[in-house]
Amino acid sequence: MTSETPVPLTEPREGLPEVITTPDALAEAVASVEAGHGPVAIDAERASGYRYGHSAYLVQLRRTGSGTFLIDPLGVPDLSRVEAAIGKTEWVLHAASQDLPCLAEVGMRPSLLFDTELAGRLLGLPRVGLGPLVENVLGFTLEKGHSAADWSTRPLPEAWLKYAALDVELLIELRDALEAQLREAGKLEWAHEEFAAIVASPPAGPRIDPWRRTSGLHRVRDRRRLAIVRELWYTRDELARTRDLSPGRVLPDAAIIDAALAQPATQAELTELPVFRGRAQRREAARWFSAVQRAQAMDKDELPPQTARYDGPPPARTWASREPEAAARLAAARAAITEIAEAHSLPVENLLAPETLRRVVWDPPDPPTEESIADAFRTRGARTWQIQLTAAAVSQALSAP
């Protein structure tokens, strides 16, 4: 790591490139990417807090010998030619799991990956955001302030474009420095396994009961009110999708919870609630009240259960009272995992996924030998390096009297 005063990085080395918005300009970029060499730095900007979904509104690439490219997916929505140009070359991303879904939407999927954030976690670095890593590892500071901007804005301001270009400016250099540290720490093979697992991971399926993620739902204590939350959530989601707006901009979660708790009997009562008094919500008052009425008219067997459906063990916080033996097993296994993580300067969650440990401890193999624990971890997606570090210790923890 560098100990010198960080140097502000304010301008792309080759200047700010023109945004690619046409097939002809994309063809030129593809040819240039093919002519470059080494890994390809990639980033994407979304408008998640403004638009419905998590689509990419700008894609940034940089490759040695090619330079930096800023691509507008609104102008050229199919970037499969870019993927073909990259071929089997390694992609370098920061926090890859955030960007890979939106890149897949435009036809870009990696064959080989290096994730700089995950590399920082495996190294046990205290701050693994892109800015802190670039500063602490390379000695440069990146501009902050536009990551949460509305990237669906057109035209994109020059300051935003400069910020976007600088996000990939040093990504390859950062990758090289982190790879050297991983090799020195004996963790490079661990990183390769982690990166390969990300590439092989299938797309996330739809959430079960997504409305249960409504902020403040813990305040809703009966099934009728839960039904109101559910109906308002799906009504909002449909309207947000139609308008291509973030659901929270259509109707805040807090308003949904307030309506569920109040159970308004009339539309007038609904519009007396704080958020629903606003002009925008009063225009949609009939829509929102219809959702409330549907919930109020449901038979008991149509109401949602108080707790979410779940195919695994109960929450660990309930084990002490419901299954004290399982709680004791979990405490012993967690202590063993924590000790190993500290010894290797790893975050506990990167050493072994907490959900994997919880499921195995709840229903452990009989007997819980090192081999049977290893098989159970492997079945649940643990990587070889994780199993080698943890299986014996967890076996001992579960076998202790």
Q: Which residues pair with 61 in a beta bridge?
A: 42, 69
Tell me, what CATH number does 149's domain have? 3.30.420.10
Amino acid (1-letter code) at residue 201: S
Tell me, what CATH number does 236's domain have? 1.10.150.80
| Cβ neighbours of 176 (radius 10 Å) | 15
Give the domain-ending residue among 182, 200, 218: 200
State pTM to two decimals: 0.93
Establish if 24 belongs to a structural domain. yes
60 and 81 fall within a common domain: yes
| Inter-CA distances, 276 with 52, 241, 262, Å | 21, 20, 12
Supply the pLDDT for residue 328.
95
99 and 235 fall within a common domain: no
Supply the pLDDT for residue 305.
95
- Return all residues near 58 (Cβ < 8 A) that are at least 6 apart: 19, 44, 45, 70, 71, 72, 73, 151, 156, 161, 164
Establish if 2 belongs to a structural domain. no
175 and 215 fall within a common domain: no
146 and 247 fall within a common domain: no
Supply the pLDDT for residue 156.
97
Supply the pLDDT for residue 307.
85
324 and 375 fall within a common domain: yes
Q: By residue range, what is the domain housing residue 242? A: 210-302
40 and 174 fall within a common domain: yes
Establish if 354 belongs to a structural domain. yes
Query: On the CB side of 106, how many CA atoms lie within 13 Å of its CA?
Result: 26
Establish if 1 belongs to a structural domain. no
Supply the pLDDT for residue 147.
79
pLDDT tens across the length of the chain (401 residues) = 555 789 999 999 999 999 999 999 999 999 999 999 999 999 999 999 999 999 999 999 999 999 999 999 999 999 999 999 999 999 999 999 999 999 999 999 999 999 999 999 999 999 999 999 999 999 999 987 787 899 999 999 999 999 999 999 999 999 999 999 999 999 999 999 999 999 999 988 888 999 999 999 999 999 999 999 999 999 999 999 999 999 999 999 999 999 999 999 999 999 999 999 999 899 999 999 999 999 999 999 999 999 887 778 888 889 999 899 999 999 999 999 999 999 999 999 999 999 999 999 999 999 999 999 999 999 999 999 999 999 999 999 999 87
Supply the pLDDT for residue 135.
96
68 and 109 fall within a common domain: yes
Give the domain-ending residue among 167, 200, 233: 200
Establish if 355 belongs to a structural domain. yes
141 and 283 fall within a common domain: no
- Residue 218: both structure tokens together: 């813990």
Q: Which residues pair with 7 in a beta bridge?
A: 140
Supply the pLDDT for residue 3.
53
378 and 333 fall within a common domain: yes
Q: How many domains does the chain have?
A: 3
Establish if 107 belongs to a structural domain. yes
Give the domain-ending residue among 171, 200, 229: 200
Establish if 309 belongs to a structural domain. no
